Amino acid sequence: MMINSIQNIIDREISSADALELLIDQGHINIAVFVPSENYKIIYASRTFLSEAGIALGEVQKCLDDGMHGIHPDDVEKVKDFLQKALEREVTVDIRRISEKSGAIIWLRCKAFPAGFAENKNAVAVIIRNITADVTIEEDMRCRNERYKIYEITTPAVLFEYNPSEDKMIFSSGSGNGITQTVLSDYMDKFKTSPLVHPEDRDRFIAALLSACDAPVTATLEYRSMVIGGSYTWCRTYYSSLADDSGKVTAVFGRIQDIGTEIAQKRELLRKAELDPLTGLYNRASFESHVRSAMDKVREREKLFFAVADIDDFKLFNDRYGHSTGDRVLTTISSLMEKYFSGEITGRFGGDEFMMFTAATDLNSVHEKLLKLADEAYIEVDGENIRVNLSIGAFITSDKSVSYEQLFESADRVMYKAKNSGKNTVIVENQG
């Protein structure tokens, strides 16, 4: 398909026409000349104009004969008005074309101005730029901003944006009344004494923020903060840093969510998993874990105290009074242990055996508490107080190198010594 050349629409005596057309082609000038009075006919179009406008080779002649061919129906009248105005002055407008090949919308920014040539005095030159990508990005950003606004208003979380170059933090939270923003300047300096993050979590928080400012990163962090609600609560922050083309971080964005309830629920589940369901004391595994942890923190002058208590003739309670009474016996002993050893580590080994661990410089009071526990072990059955006999063995040592297994075995051995000496006895063996 031959497209009209510049030579055909300007004065044929101008020798520079060939040079002008070469300049248009080589300079990739997206230009066409319309004649509004002749069905908006295109009397000239550069090759790059056709390419930029998304005009396929097969529809070139249609576009030349009818300048409105392929224009979005909703924009046809706007284009006609645009070309008419351009007969008198320069005009700019954005229009849409429909790609004949794919049906996609092509956005064009058009600048038109009077350009009468030779026999075509009423002509308009139009220079176009394909702005489809720009429009798509702008629309996407507009939608993102709208979604962001709705999210800010409706989410119970707090959003933040930190600008490293300005050292400025912006917190945003939404409510029924709109979006509230708090701007903190000189954030890093103020953060050193700020109560916003719990002192025990401050170093982890600032290390995470500095890392996000150093290089692009996407991560989460859990810590205690009073950003939400005005008092310390556990928060989870999802954050991501944005960098420019050079890799320099320009902003850190994040979402702070209150997970206080979630943490409490997890702790409750963990607590229940650690506890014996009947007595509420630590089960065997969790008791051992807590004792091992406590042994690692024992101070130099403190001694280790490990006690094992066994209910004498427990089977008789079940056989004579039933298993529900047997359960009452177990809960009675556990209640007494909680009463006298609330600050120590207590647990149920299993069956009718209980354990207690503590570390202190003076263990005489602990011994006395064991005696009181044994003395108060009664249950009421049918209006009668029934004695619950206990054989209790305790082992004391100042040897910090002793293992958990050695402690337990020593206390268990002393407990059997008490049982073999006639039961209902408390024996404490002090290794020194």
150 in helix, strand or coil? helix
Q: 369: closest CA among 348, 393, 341, 329? A: 341
For residue 52, what pLDDT is reported? 84
- Do 404 and 288 meet the contact criterion of CB atoms below 8 Å apart? yes
* Mean pLDDT, each 10-residue run in order, the chain (432 residues): 49 49 62 81 84 82 85 92 91 89 87 77 86 84 65 69 92 70 87 85 91 92 85 90 89 89 84 88 93 92 94 89 91 94 92 94 90 93 90 94 95 95 92 79
d(CA 345, CA 287): 7
Tokens of 115: 């350009």
- Do 256 and 244 meet the contact criterion of CB atoms below 8 Å apart? no
For residue 17, what pLDDT is reported? 46
For residue 143, what pLDDT is reported? 66
Distances in whole angstroms, Cα of residue 426 to Cα of each of 265, 341, 421: 40, 16, 10
User: Which strands form 390-397's sheet, in the order they lie side by side?
Assistant: 345-350, 353-360, 303-311, 390-397, 426-430
For residue 20, what pLDDT is reported? 53
- Do 363 and 373 meet the contact criterion of CB atoms below 8 Å apart? no
User: Which strands form 31-35's sheet, in the order they lie side by side?
Assistant: 41-45, 31-35, 124-130, 105-114, 91-98
Helix 314-321 vs helix 323-340: angle between axes, to the nearest 10 degrees?
140
d(CA 391, CA 314): 11
Per-residue exposure over 169-200, b if at least 16 CB sit within 10 Å of its own CB, e if not = bebbbbeeeeeeeeebeebeeebeeeebbbee
Please, which residues have CB within 8 angstroms of residue 319's CB and are 6 or more apart in sequence?
Answer: none
Please, which residues have CB within 8 angstroms of residue 119's CB and are 6 or more apart in sequence?
Answer: none
For residue 2, what pLDDT is reported? 42
d(CA 309, CA 393): 6
Tokens of 156: 């119970």
pTM above 0.85, yes or no: no
- Do 140 and 147 meet the contact criterion of CB atoms below 8 Å apart? no
- Sign of the dihedral defined by the CA atoms of residues 23, 24, 29, 31, in that order: positive
For residue 341, give the DSSP letter.
Answer: -
- Do 14 and 106 meet the contact criterion of CB atoms below 8 Å apart? no
